[in-house]
Structure 1
Amino acid sequence: MSTLPPGHPVVPAQPCPHHDGATPRLLYAARHGQSTVNAGIRPATPAEADDMAIELTELGARQAVALGRWFAALPPEQLPDSVLCSPYRRAAATWQLAEAELRAAGVTVPCRVTEPNLYDRFRGALSHIPADEVRQRYPEQYAAERADPLGYRPPGGESFLDVADRLAGVVDRIVADTRHRRVLIVAHDAVILLLRRLLEHLDDTATLAVAAAGLAGNASVTAWAQDADDYDYRLLYYDRRDHLPDR
């Protein structure tokens, strides 16, 4: 069973037609559609527990289609021209279904690359174990996480602050990108939470407040605009779900 994605380079899915001169002005982050684990289906085998291989549910596929239709309906000046996608199957499948809707609508499809540092937070030995079960089976680990929610690192896994550290390089590359003005990240709820921390300069208290209010839902959209003067990002909306099917 793989634990972390292979350290492959960021490789464009197709040649990029864009040219130097652009500076990112809009940044979107979409969470993948509902996965089997999100639906409460516990992995039955080591292969099913491989985080990279977890699939979308039927609802997750419908959510991905709805996500694509939402993007296809945006004005051209708001449509992403670049997509950075998590290497996990559920994220890649979400964008594949969404991209098909853009093609069907005759909308220009963004450049796409697989970004290895956009994978979900890895919980190591506690992967796929619900919190109540962790409390019963591993009370010391449960207490340690309660005492330090952002800094706690499960055995063999990573903390939320570890996720923020690897995302910092992704943000730096987006800011330095001179080809694309509107970038979409397709990834996971932990990634979106830590993007908010980095882009909005949230401290620990503010980060935990966002998490307590609710993490980004499946196939939801979060967006930031970049200020032209100081290049900081300001939040436009978080966890937008009005495009999604009820069931």
Structure 2
Amino acid sequence: MHRLDWLAIVRHGLSTGNVTAQNAEAGGAELIDIPERDADVPLAPAGREQAEAVGHWLARQQPRLAVVSPYLRTRQTAEIALGSIPAEIVVDERLRDRELGVLDLLTARGVQARLPGEARRRERLGKFYYRPPGGESWADVLLRLRALLREIGEDHPGGRVVLVAHEATVLMVRYLAERLSEAELMAIAHGTTIANCSVSTWARSGDRLEPVLFNSVEHLRHHGAPPTRQEDVNAEPV
């Protein structure tokens, strides 16, 4: 990864699942009523506006490679944002969102009500190492991201690469790019919601990638797109 000249990651635009999840949490429901499987949740109309806005920003950055999560909402975001940019687009399953297993489609209230044992286990282990039955821990996701980023760096030395992925992925790419500790990552994650179509970037300085932007939505405001910060459909309940 540190062989790259420039790395960016874009969270997908607002999805229909984001809207449903936000309404479920606000309404005190235990379940998030989403008919599609997570991989098939599409962008909402506002999310398409956001993707167009991030496309204007990306056109100025001139990425040469875009690596995209296979989920529909990320592919749609990339297709809209990169439609007029001469960048190679590669879909890679290692960028998929964290799998939540038994916690899938449960709100924070739903986890406490239906799986109190898992809620206690998560509290004891912490977000970094807690693995829900049938799902992944943050450390599990980092294993696949570390391999992907190493491969990208080796194959594209001096490259300008943008990733299009998910909320938790943004935080974990920051962990890897800046060589953070668990405690440093948790301090950043606490109280931080990664905005839909936000951008986070790093640029080469010597033999390291140094942070430039984190969770920035200025491009959305500039182009009149809604800078929403709704939680992702499969964001970990808190």
* Residues 1:29 and 2:6 aligned together: no
Query: How well do the aligned residues superpose, as a CA RMSD in angstroms?
Result: 1.6
Unpaired segments of 5 or more residues in structure 1?
A: 1-22
* 1:9 matched residue in structure 2: none
**Contact 2:50-2:226 at 8 Å conserved across structures:** no
Q: Secondary structure at the match of 1:71?
A: helix
Local SS of the residue matching 2:150: helix
Q: Out of 157, 161, 176, which is 2:139 matched to? A: 161
Report how many aligned residue pairs link the two structures.
210
1:190 corresponding residue in structure 2: 168
Q: TM-score, normalised by structure 2?
A: 0.83
Structure with the greater relative contact order (CA < 8 A, sep ≥ 6): 1 or 2?
A: 2
2:83 is the alignment partner of 1:83: no
Deviation at 1:216, TM superposition (A): 1.7
The question of 1:236 aligning with 2:223 is answered no
1:152 aligns with 2:130: yes
The gaps in structure 2 that reach 5 residues or longer are: 22-31, 228-238
In structure 2, relative to structure 1, the CA distance for the partners of 1:60 and 1:178 (3 Å cut) is: closer
Residue aligned with 2:15, SS: coil
Are the counterparts in 2 of residues 193 and 215 from structure 1 also a CA contact under 8 Å?
no
Out of 143-152 and 185-194, give the one that drifted further: 143-152
Determine if contact 2:46/2:226 at 8 Å carries over to the other structure: no
Q: Which residue of 2 aligns with 1:16?
A: none
TM-score normalised by length of structure 1: 0.81
In the alignment, what sits opposite 2:103? Answer: 126
Aligned partner of 1:112 among 73, 83, 89 = 89
Aligned to 2:113, the other structure's residue is in SS state helix
CA distance in 2, matches of 1:209, 1:161: 16
Give 3-state SS (helix, strand or coil) of 1:184's partner. strand
Secondary structure of 2:86 counterpart:
coil
Equivalent position of 1:19 in the other structure: none
> Any residues of structure 2 matched to 1:178-217 within 5 Å, and which?
178=156, 181-217=159-195
User: Cα deviation per residue 1:7-38 (whole Å; 9 max; x = unaligned)?
Assistant: xxxxxxxxxxxxxxxx5200000000011121
Greater shift in the superposed pair: 159-168 or 207-216 = 207-216
1:13 aligned partner: none
Q: Which runs of 4+ in 1 moved over 2 A?
A: 40-45, 177-180
Indicate the residue corresponding to 1:14 in structure 2. none
